[in-house]
Amino acid sequence: MLNRIKQIIDKEKLSSTQFATEIGVQRSALSHVLSGRNKPSLDFMMKIKNRYPEINLDWLLLGKGRMVGGKETREVRATAVVAKDKVQEPKEVQFRIKKDEVDEITEDQKIGIKITEQKQKETKAGSPKKIILLYPDDTYETYDPR
Protein backbone atom coordinates (compact mmCIF):
# COMPACT_ATOMS: atom_id res chain seq x y z
CA MET A 1 0.00 0.00 0.00
CA LEU A 2 2.89 2.32 0.74
CA ASN A 3 4.10 2.21 -2.88
CA ARG A 4 0.58 2.77 -4.19
CA ILE A 5 0.15 5.86 -1.98
CA LYS A 6 3.47 7.18 -3.30
CA GLN A 7 2.29 6.53 -6.88
CA ILE A 8 -0.84 8.62 -6.25
CA ILE A 9 1.28 11.47 -4.85
CA ASP A 10 3.56 11.30 -7.92
CA LYS A 11 0.60 11.11 -10.33
CA GLU A 12 -1.00 14.20 -8.77
CA LYS A 13 2.39 15.99 -8.68
CA LEU A 14 1.97 17.00 -5.03
CA SER A 15 4.33 17.26 -2.09
CA SER A 16 3.55 15.10 0.92
CA THR A 17 2.33 18.22 2.77
CA GLN A 18 -0.04 19.14 -0.05
CA PHE A 19 -1.29 15.55 -0.31
CA ALA A 20 -1.96 15.40 3.46
CA THR A 21 -3.96 18.62 3.21
CA GLU A 22 -5.87 17.33 0.16
CA ILE A 23 -7.01 14.13 1.85
CA GLY A 24 -7.60 15.77 5.24
CA VAL A 25 -5.00 14.10 7.46
CA GLN A 26 -2.23 15.54 9.59
CA ARG A 27 1.16 15.85 7.92
CA SER A 28 2.73 13.77 10.67
CA ALA A 29 0.27 10.92 10.03
CA LEU A 30 1.18 10.86 6.33
CA SER A 31 4.88 11.10 7.17
CA HIS A 32 4.64 8.09 9.50
CA VAL A 33 2.84 6.07 6.82
CA LEU A 34 5.32 7.04 4.09
CA SER A 35 8.30 6.21 6.30
CA GLY A 36 6.84 2.80 7.11
CA ARG A 37 6.57 3.54 10.82
CA ASN A 38 2.76 3.13 10.77
CA LYS A 39 0.47 1.17 8.49
CA PRO A 40 -2.35 3.20 6.94
CA SER A 41 -5.71 2.70 8.65
CA LEU A 42 -8.91 2.01 6.75
CA ASP A 43 -10.03 5.55 7.58
CA PHE A 44 -6.80 6.89 6.05
CA MET A 45 -7.34 4.86 2.87
CA MET A 46 -10.99 5.93 2.62
CA LYS A 47 -9.93 9.57 2.85
CA ILE A 48 -7.73 8.99 -0.19
CA LYS A 49 -10.61 7.26 -2.01
CA ASN A 50 -13.07 10.04 -1.12
CA ARG A 51 -10.72 12.77 -2.35
CA TYR A 52 -9.72 10.83 -5.48
CA PRO A 53 -12.83 8.83 -6.48
CA GLU A 54 -11.26 7.83 -9.79
CA ILE A 55 -8.72 5.66 -7.92
CA ASN A 56 -9.66 1.98 -8.06
CA LEU A 57 -10.25 0.84 -4.46
CA ASP A 58 -9.14 -2.74 -5.23
CA TRP A 59 -5.88 -1.37 -6.57
CA LEU A 60 -5.41 0.94 -3.60
CA LEU A 61 -6.09 -1.68 -0.92
CA LEU A 62 -5.06 -4.94 -2.60
CA GLY A 63 -2.92 -3.99 -5.59
CA LYS A 64 -5.38 -5.65 -8.02
CA GLY A 65 -6.41 -4.07 -11.29
CA ARG A 66 -5.47 -0.68 -12.65
CA MET A 67 -4.80 2.47 -10.66
CA VAL A 68 -7.46 4.61 -12.27
CA GLY A 69 -11.08 3.67 -12.84
CA GLY A 70 -11.83 0.63 -14.81
CA LYS A 71 -14.91 -1.10 -16.09
CA GLU A 72 -16.28 -1.76 -12.59
CA THR A 73 -16.24 1.92 -11.63
CA ARG A 74 -18.14 3.00 -14.73
CA GLU A 75 -20.84 0.36 -14.16
CA VAL A 76 -21.38 1.42 -10.56
CA ARG A 77 -21.71 5.07 -11.53
CA ALA A 78 -24.17 4.23 -14.32
CA THR A 79 -26.26 2.13 -11.96
CA ALA A 80 -26.32 4.94 -9.43
CA VAL A 81 -27.59 7.40 -12.03
CA VAL A 82 -30.33 5.00 -13.18
CA ALA A 83 -31.39 4.31 -9.60
CA LYS A 84 -31.57 8.04 -8.87
CA ASP A 85 -33.96 8.51 -11.80
CA LYS A 86 -36.31 5.84 -10.43
CA VAL A 87 -36.72 7.41 -6.98
CA GLN A 88 -40.21 8.75 -6.42
CA GLU A 89 -41.19 11.58 -4.17
CA PRO A 90 -43.10 10.45 -1.10
CA LYS A 91 -46.87 10.77 -1.35
CA GLU A 92 -49.21 11.72 1.45
CA VAL A 93 -51.61 8.89 2.12
CA GLN A 94 -54.75 9.25 4.18
CA PHE A 95 -56.44 6.33 5.86
CA ARG A 96 -60.14 6.29 6.54
CA ILE A 97 -61.76 3.82 8.87
CA LYS A 98 -65.49 3.27 8.79
CA LYS A 99 -67.15 3.92 12.12
CA ASP A 100 -68.88 0.54 12.17
CA GLU A 101 -65.48 -1.20 11.89
CA VAL A 102 -64.21 0.38 15.11
CA ASP A 103 -65.18 -1.11 18.46
CA GLU A 104 -66.27 1.22 21.20
CA ILE A 105 -63.44 1.82 23.64
CA THR A 106 -64.40 2.30 27.25
CA GLU A 107 -62.45 4.37 29.75
CA ASP A 108 -61.14 1.18 31.37
CA GLN A 109 -59.71 -0.03 28.04
CA LYS A 110 -58.03 3.29 27.25
CA ILE A 111 -55.69 3.13 30.18
CA GLY A 112 -55.16 -0.60 29.85
CA ILE A 113 -55.99 -1.33 33.49
CA LYS A 114 -59.05 -3.18 34.61
CA ILE A 115 -60.35 -1.50 37.69
CA THR A 116 -61.82 -3.89 40.20
CA GLU A 117 -63.77 -3.07 43.30
CA GLN A 118 -61.68 -3.29 46.40
CA LYS A 119 -63.25 -4.37 49.63
CA GLN A 120 -61.84 -3.43 52.95
CA LYS A 121 -61.41 -6.16 55.46
CA GLU A 122 -64.29 -6.07 57.84
CA THR A 123 -63.25 -6.24 61.43
CA LYS A 124 -65.34 -6.65 64.48
CA ALA A 125 -65.93 -3.38 66.20
CA GLY A 126 -64.35 -3.17 69.58
CA SER A 127 -62.02 -1.16 71.66
CA PRO A 128 -58.41 -0.55 70.58
CA LYS A 129 -55.83 -2.87 72.04
CA LYS A 130 -52.85 -0.50 71.85
CA ILE A 131 -52.20 3.02 70.49
CA ILE A 132 -48.73 3.95 69.27
CA LEU A 133 -47.86 7.58 68.47
CA LEU A 134 -44.82 8.11 66.23
CA TYR A 135 -43.08 11.51 66.30
CA PRO A 136 -40.86 13.13 63.61
CA ASP A 137 -37.79 12.94 65.86
CA ASP A 138 -38.04 9.11 65.75
CA THR A 139 -39.49 8.80 69.24
CA TYR A 140 -42.78 7.17 70.12
CA GLU A 141 -45.30 6.76 72.90
CA THR A 142 -47.45 3.75 73.62
CA TYR A 143 -50.86 3.96 75.27
CA ASP A 144 -52.70 1.03 76.66
CA PRO A 145 -56.36 2.08 76.88
CA ARG A 146 -57.32 -0.74 79.28
Domain annotation covers residue 136: no
Q: Which of 16-20, 48-52, 95-99 has the lowest mean pLDDT?
A: 95-99
Instruction: Give me the mean pLDDT over the 130-138 stretch.
Output: 88
pLDDT score recorded for residue 21 = 92
Tell me how far apart the alpha carbons of residues 51 and 48 are, in angstroms, rounded to a whole number: 5
Whether the model pTM is above 0.85: no
Domain annotation covers residue 68: yes
Domain annotation covers residue 137: no
Domain annotation covers residue 109: no
Confidence grade of residue 129 (pLDDT, cut at 50, 70, 90): confident
pLDDT score recorded for residue 78 = 52
Domain annotation covers residue 67: yes
Find the CATH number of the domain harbouring 14.
Answer: 1.10.260.40
The whole domain housing 70 covers: 2-86
- What domain count does the chain have? 1
Confidence grade of residue 24 (pLDDT, cut at 50, 70, 90): very high
CB 58 within 8 A of CB 65: yes
Domain annotation covers residue 50: yes
Domain annotation covers residue 101: no
Q: Percent of the chain scored above 90 by pLDDT? A: 16
Domain annotation covers residue 41: yes
